[in-house]
Amino acid sequence: MSTLFKYILLKIYLYINRVLNPFSPDEVISLEFKTGNRFAPIKKIHNMKKTILLFLCILTVGLSSCKKEVLVTDPTNRTILVDIPLANWVRATDGPYYYTNIDLPENNSNFNQSGHVIVSMSFANPDVYEGLPQVYGGASYTFNSQPGKLTIYINSVNNTTLPNLPLTVTTAKVTLIDALLID
């Protein structure tokens, strides 16, 4: 074995010996002399073990009594279904498109600044909603929102001709998602 390896083994042995027997022979002799009892070091170790055990028990009970609380808040997201009859589509005067306005008082100025508006539309099947923006039947559907109202637009795909209106009443699903504004 190399000298370095022997040195490391010796240090480990001395460390383990010091942990298992915390008293040097001089301390044992002085404790025997002071108390007249050769078992005094053993009692001192026993008292130290009791103290450490008591401390660990208190620590265990203290940490295990912590209770985790999960706060569940009610969802503040809202969904509004709005039927849009054919008569509500208005032809724009400034270009070849149609639009309709939906009153949305829930979208106030604070919500418009910090929240999020998602719009989906049901075209042929009332159980299927397609998110906007969307191209359906050769027409492009988009929207924008402002405080108090939502506007849905129908443009032709090439934006040069007037688009075809939906053939039936369509349903718009407007979802308002609350969020906190971080400045």
Q: Which pLDDT value is given to residue 32?
A: 47
CB 155 within 8 A of CB 102: no
* pLDDT(16) > 90: no
Summarised one tens digit per residue, pLDDT across range 75-119 is 678 999 999 999 999 999 998 999 999 999 999 988 888 889 999
Phi, psi of 175 (to 5 degrees): -110, 125
Distance CA 175, CA 155 (A): 23
Closest C-alpha among 144, 176, 174 to residue 84: 174
- Can you read off the two tokens belonging to residue 139? 């027409």
Summarised one tens digit per residue, pLDDT across range 146-170 is 999 999 999 998 888 999 898 889 9
Chain centroid offset of residue 39 CA: 60
Among residues of the chain, what percentage have pLDDT more than 70? 61
Q: Which pLDDT value is given to residue 37?
A: 52
- Note the pTM of the prediction, 2 decimals: 0.60
Q: Which pLDDT value is given to residue 126?
A: 84
